[in-house]
Chain A
Amino acid sequence: MNKRYLYLLLLPGFLFLAAFMLIPIILTIVSTFMPDGSLTLEGYMTFFRDGYFNKILLTTLRVSVVTTLVCVVLGYPAAYYISRAGIRKKSILLALSIFPLLTSPVVRSFSWMIILGKKGLLNTFLMNIGLIQKPLEILYTPVAMMVGLVHLFLPLIIITLLGVMENLDYELVRAARSLGASSFTAFRKIIFPLTVPGLIIGSILVFVGSLTAYTTPALLGGKERVVATFLYQNAMTLNDWQAASVIAVIMIVITFVVVGLMNAWANRLNPKG
């Protein structure tokens, strides 16, 4: 095929994205600044003056940050172990870690309800062994959201990290060891710095995913709101599309700022440039 026409391959996808994503987003952004023809920041001011919204925003950020940290702490060692395992073990472990991605978030959230509820498995167990006297309030709190989100996003960060770790030249570790490094030092000075860029990319995915997740916080959060569920409430229940648009734009801006900063950081750390 003539190279000049190769861009035609890109065209359908581009048109689709332009028609159904780019243009609506631009229109949404524009509409929040001029709700009735004239330019105003009033839409935003109302939100940032509103204590309830600020609380929701804070909960969302907190849940997203904690979810990301927990995913990093749980995912990194797991990914490292899988990357160093033999071929057979590796494919089994990989399949197991991807498995949660194959089940619907609704089903997954319901199973967490069964586990975390007042009379759920966890509370029953803890009371039976006498560790607690009255049931813990976990379900319908931000903690439950985090549990659900960690479950949802752990596979993602494992897969991302695995990609980086599999490309890591293990000869570097041998080189460090032959120069006198213990296994732990070799990990600290070689493996970890070289996998940080992957860790940042994985964290971006988890953070943005948690920030915008809807189903899991809606089902496990009860009356607790996050930005995404608040947006839904404004649009569908209150029919306030103007407010929903403003929330959407705030989410987009946060996402872009976080992605931009973390990406820049990852690029700066990436030795291959």
Chain B
Amino acid sequence: MALISLEQVSVAYDNRFILEDFNLQIEKGKLLSLLGPSGCGKTTTLRLIAGFLNAEQGKFMFGGKDYTNVPVNKRNFGFVFQSYALFPHMSVYDNVAFGLRLRKMKEAEVKQRVTRMLEIVSLGGFEKRLPKALSGGQRQRVAIARALVIEPDLLLFDEPLSNLDANLRVNMRVEIRRIQQELGITTVYVSHDQEECFSISDQVAVMNSGKIEQLAHPTTIFKYPASEYVARFIGFGNFIAFESRSDAGEDIELSRGALKFLAAKRPNGAGNLGMLGAIRPDDLQLWPSTQEAPLSGNTLSGRVQVSTYLGRSYQYEVETELGVFTVNQEMDVPFAQGEQVTIYFPKDKLVLVQ
């Protein structure tokens, strides 16, 4: 049974509904992330779970109990804020001890737990510092320690890494995942960064204006987006609207006018609904049209419009009879602008979405 369950929840600000009939289940011990662009309702969902917001309708069940009307301070959920929200007038020690002292714990035990937690987040020796005397990464770790030390039943992260620089972000997300798995603590993690979500999650829910478009394991979402929206969001930059499809053969046969394409069927026959073909710029391949393509079928001829050097690869905008395609390709000698090329669509990379 799911530990957390949002059932038919609706949330509104000033009579404008942000979430409507929203449903979400999370298993105990798992890390689920909410991924979506800014403004899609991720923070709202998280605040609802935390109890900072009240739902207009619906239920929030936690561990089989109705938590809908349980006040924030009785929920025992840890929240890590985007802005960290460290208490500026308290030392690192007092920040972390705050929740324990509210639980009327003996000062000796508070000390023991705070010290251990600060060690877990590698901040031993920083007890006396005020938050203003810490770097961004250190503040972040204090915020995490403060939320974890109360041994919360659920941990909530709202874009906790968005204020850190790139290197630190990677280190911190590894840390967060390590701590989460070590303590086996159920976690909801909000981010608009797909790499971040994919790298730390057991499950990713891609959100679009208050709705979950797809909820699945990161690799499933990465390979098999369910909808055009998800595909676009995770970097499928090229689309072909097919006119017919046939699933009779070994592969799915697709056509658009006189053009025929093949797309591989998915394992377990899952998904691959719809008639819109989607493929990433990295998965398309280009040949000079003077050279014969090593494979027949699934090709389209075109002309290089724009060529951009990206460092590791070149990015081309290729004009074809089906519109412009974006292709990323590593090569030593790039195609020239205006050069005639053949685009190859590997059938196992061509995904069909709704």
A185 and chain B: residue at smallest CB distance = B102
Q: Report B133-166 CB contacts with A as 1/0, cut-off 8 Å.
A: 0000000000000110010000000000000000
Judged by a CB distance under 8 angstroms, whether B179 is at the interface is no
Assembly CA distance A169 to B76 (angstroms): 22
Assembly CA distance A215 to B73 (angstroms): 51
Judged by a CB distance under 8 angstroms, whether A182 is at the interface is yes
Categorize the interface residue count of chain B.
20 to 34
Judged by a CB distance under 8 angstroms, whether B103 is at the interface is yes
Ordered by A's residue number, 19 sampled pairs between the chains whose C-beta atoms are within 8 Å are A171-B81, A172-B85, A172-B88, A174-B52, A174-B79, A178-B50, A178-B73, A178-B75, A178-B77, A178-B79, A178-B147, A179-B73, A180-B102, A181-B98, A182-B73, A185-B102, A189-B98, A190-B87, A194-B89
- Looking at chain A's contact residues, is the secondary structure mostly helix, strand, loop, or mixed? helix
5 new A-B contacts at CB < 8 Å, known A177-B73, A181-B102: A175-B86, A178-B73, A178-B79, A180-B150, A185-B102
A271 touches B132 (CB 8 A): yes
Give the A-binding residues of B (Cβ under 8 A).
50-52, 72-79, 81, 83, 85-89, 98-99, 102-103, 130, 132, 146-147, 150
In the bound complex, residues from chain B placing their C-beta under 8 Å from that of A171 are 81, 83, 85
In the bound complex, residues from chain A placing their C-beta under 8 Å from that of B89 are 193-194, 269, 271
Assembly CA distance A26 to B140 (angstroms): 53
Assembly CA distance A176 to B71 (angstroms): 13
In the bound complex, residues from chain A placing their C-beta under 8 Å from that of B51 are 178
Partner of B73, one of A180, A190, A269, A271: A180
In the bound complex, residues from chain A placing their C-beta under 8 Å from that of B88 are 172, 194, 271-272
In the bound complex, residues from chain B placing their C-beta under 8 Å from that of A37 are none
Give the B-binding residues of A (Cβ under 8 A).
169, 171-172, 174-182, 185, 189-190, 193-194, 269, 271-273
B130 touches A271 (CB 8 A): yes
Assembly CA distance A193 to B89 (angstroms): 8
Assembly CA distance A194 to B88 (angstroms): 8
In the bound complex, residues from chain B placing their C-beta under 8 Å from that of A271 are 88-89, 130, 132
Assembly CA distance A24 to B123 (angstroms): 58
B81 touches A174 (CB 8 A): yes
A181 touches B85 (CB 8 A): no
A179 touches B130 (CB 8 A): no
In the bound complex, residues from chain A placing their C-beta under 8 Å from that of B72 are 174, 177-178
B96 and chain A: residue at smallest CB distance = A179
Assembly CA distance A176 to B97 (angstroms): 11
In the bound complex, residues from chain B placing their C-beta under 8 Å from that of A189 are 98
B98 touches A176 (CB 8 A): yes
Given contacts A174-B79, A272-B88, A180 and B132 within 8 Å (CB-CB): no
In the bound complex, residues from chain A placing their C-beta under 8 Å from that of B81 are 171, 174-175
